Chain A
Amino acid sequence: MELQSKYRTLRDVPQLDYLSPGGSLCAGCGGLLAVRLFHKVLGKNVVWVNAAGCMTIMVNYPLVPLKSNWLYTAFASAPAGAQGIRDALDILIKKGKIPESEDLKVVVVTGDGAAYDIGLQSTSGAIYRNLDFYYLCYDNQAYGNTGFQVSSATPVGSSTATTPATPSQPAGNIQKRKDLFEIWRAHNPPYIATLSSSYAVDFLKKVEKGSGFRGPKLYISLAGCPTGWGYDPRETIREEKLAVDTGIWPLKEAVEGKVRHTVVPRALRPVEEYLATQARYQHLFTPTKRIDVIRQIQNDVNSYWEGVADREGFDIKLVET
């Protein structure tokens, strides 16, 4: 039985915001949007533990937009910072040195560079120790903060500053993304989900649902990146929605390891519709259309959803290639 959620329509998105307006991040930052939504569900008693990335710039002394606590740690070890804070709060409450009303939800917030690459060891350690914390990865699919270099979250076909499309490498990046969801799932945390702010109700429900579990709660949120992906900042929600509707960004969760897709498009839209809107994929369309690469991306999406539809028992209309 599913628990009744507080969040059923967009009208249920809480008005109360824990981030003040303004701030020093790029206009249209999908990562910031994810942080805002996440915070709305968790409420004010939060300590964010951050690793180097775009969000680091958000807390810019003395202009701190947060109405909650913040710690910048280092690139590789935000989950270990979360461990220290969680343990300290537990000890201090147990010893009666602070009242329970001073307890905080401990949330790691990192980009994909930290989550997929340099911080994977400390993430693995924290999950292994069954740390009671939230991990929010805003996945803009590259090292966005340093100027959009390839990360192990960068999709096939994307050009980045370090994998530009050239005559010898016409596809741009040719490495497949690491499957971080499955890497995390192999550690057996109680709750994992993917998110996109474009499906806000699904987003809020998942944060709410995860809150019901003690232990590691892990979230990978797609984070549209106007500067890195190359689109108009006002289009972030539209881009993220296209990613979901083309099947490129599946929205799913794993409760105690059991995977379920939470948003299933009845018919996938062609990936081409998504790729064509972003500068990072323009080399697939001009000067000549790289049908081979586009087809490869479409085939990967199709085979993913075919498998899922089979396992979870739903019908989905794939795109013919």
Chain B
Amino acid sequence: MTSTRSMLMTGNLAAAWGARLGRADYIPAYPITPQTEIIETIAKWVRTGEIDAKLVQMESEHSMLTAAGAASLAGARVFTATSSQGLLYALEMLYNIAGWRAPMVLVNVARALAAPITLEPDHNDILAARDSGFLQFHAETCQEVLDLILLAYRVAEDSSVLLPAIVNLDGFYLSFTREKVDLPSEEDAAAFLPDYKPVNPFSASNPVSKGATVLNGALYSYFKYHMHASSLRARDVFEKASAEFERMFGRSYSPVETFMADDAEIVLVISNSFSTIGKQAVKRLRNRGIQAGLIKLRMLRPFPSSLVARYLSGRRGVAVFDQNISLGFGGIIYSEVLTSLYHRRNRPQLILPVIGGLGGKQITIEEMERIFEATKNELGSESPEPLFLMRSEELERTMNLVKTAKEVHS
């Protein structure tokens, strides 16, 4: 472990440092709240010469991602960032970039989707990109934002993976929260993450075609199967890279993090910044003698199914906190957790779906505690009632606003 310097920084600044320490050559950019601080920071560094990279502001996120993927294929290490509507606008290109096998890194600053339009976060934006072929890493803290970017490049560029990656951080809760972040030195970062060696880039001496047509379903399936297999391999590659990261920097990152979970009877499954509140609730419950625990999903793609199953099998009750909603179904991660457990002999008695924090709605420690209570109460139930977290005073305030709107417009 080498000496590092620490700085107070926002999640956005940490993301910019990820690009800087990752020695990104090229940053196509487009502004969107709450991501703008990332590109503004990088733009300043480029202008002051603190980093040797080119930043170009494109005319849309769709073009931004096209330029990003194409530059990666030409051999540049590429970084960019977006959020919410921007991610959806670029979604078409995510599928292309993954199919091109261009190992760029994209940061998404999570923000809920219109309509109604809002600036605050939930995970419907990032989970809309779930099936694109991009690997997905989700950060709880500003430190994780920085570290996961370095890890994301390592995994994405590995010759057995060659898929692009997204690092997700929550808007506002993380993007604008200052925390102490340990900064690896440039030398150490370079030792951990060597220069990008593109595989068959565009070239004069060895011309290549990327994104060719296949007019044949078997060929299409062949390519998609290889992408799928590569994505699954990314888990092992991540674990190996992460072990090296721990040796160098002393911070450990597994695809799934456990918190007081070893002997827990009731376990909460959660991801991203609200995990911190969940952990506080677990501590409080433990103080009251309740065997609560938590597992945090750090890797969403590939989905770490076997780890999830290993950590959840044999529990009495599991609650899955989804900060997203698949309208007409429920929580997206809920269904993935269920799937991971279905064939396990000792699967939990109960897996309770919980939806909360949509559009950045605050979740208190008490509400997190309520999730554990509800899980206990539902044990033995054949069809548990999904839990939609909203406090009575929030509901009351909301109804008052609706009433006011009616009065104003009548």
Measured CB to CB, the residues of A under 8 A from B are: 24, 44-45, 47, 49, 56-57, 59-61, 64, 66-74, 76-85, 87-92, 95, 97-98, 101-104, 121-122, 124-125, 128-129
Contacts and interface: CB of A to CB of B under 8 A. Distances in A.
Contact of A90 (B54, B214, B215): B54
Contact of A84 (B66, B203, B207, B211): B66
A56 B76 contact: no
Interface in B72-96: 72-76, 78, 92-93, 96
B67 interface: yes
Contact of B213 (A61, A68, A78): A61
B204 A101 contact: yes
Given A61-B212, A66-B209, A88 B63 contact: no
Contacts of A98: 75, 203
Given A128-B59, A129-B56, 12 more contacts: A61-B219, A66-B209, A69-B202, A70-B208, A72-B212, A74-B93, A83-B66, A84-B28, A84-B67, A84-B71, A92-B25, A97-B195
Given A87-B67, A88-B75, A98-B75, A125 B59 contact: yes
* A-B residue pairs, 5 tightest by C-beta: A84-B70, A125-B59, A80-B63, A84-B67, A72-B211
B67 A71 contact: no
B211 A91 contact: no
B205 interface: yes
Contacts of A74: 62, 66, 92-93, 96
B74 A88 contact: yes
Contacts of B205: 101-102
B66 A60 contact: no
A59 B213 CA distance: 6
Contacts of B100: 71
Contacts, number: 163
A92 B76 CA distance: 7
Contacts of A95: 25, 52
Interface in B12-53: 25-26, 28, 52-53
A26 B383 CA distance: 59
B290 to A, nearest CB: 52
Given A61-B212, A122-B60, A77 B75 contact: no
Contacts of A59: 209, 212-213
Contacts of A102: 203-205
B58 interface: yes
B69 interface: yes
B92 A91 contact: no
Contact of B73 (A44, A66, A85, A97): A85
B68 interface: yes
Contacts of B212: 59-61, 64, 70, 72
A45 B207 CA distance: 8
A125 B67 CA distance: 12
Given A67-B207, A77-B63, A103-B204, A87 B213 contact: no
A87 B78 CA distance: 11
B64 interface: yes
Given A85-B73, A102-B203, A60 B214 contact: yes
A87 B76 contact: yes
Nearest to A61: B212
Contact of A87 (B62, B66, B71, B215): B71
A83 B67 contact: yes
B210 interface: yes
A267 B195 CA distance: 63
A98 B206 CA distance: 13
A88 B26 contact: yes
Contacts of A129: 56
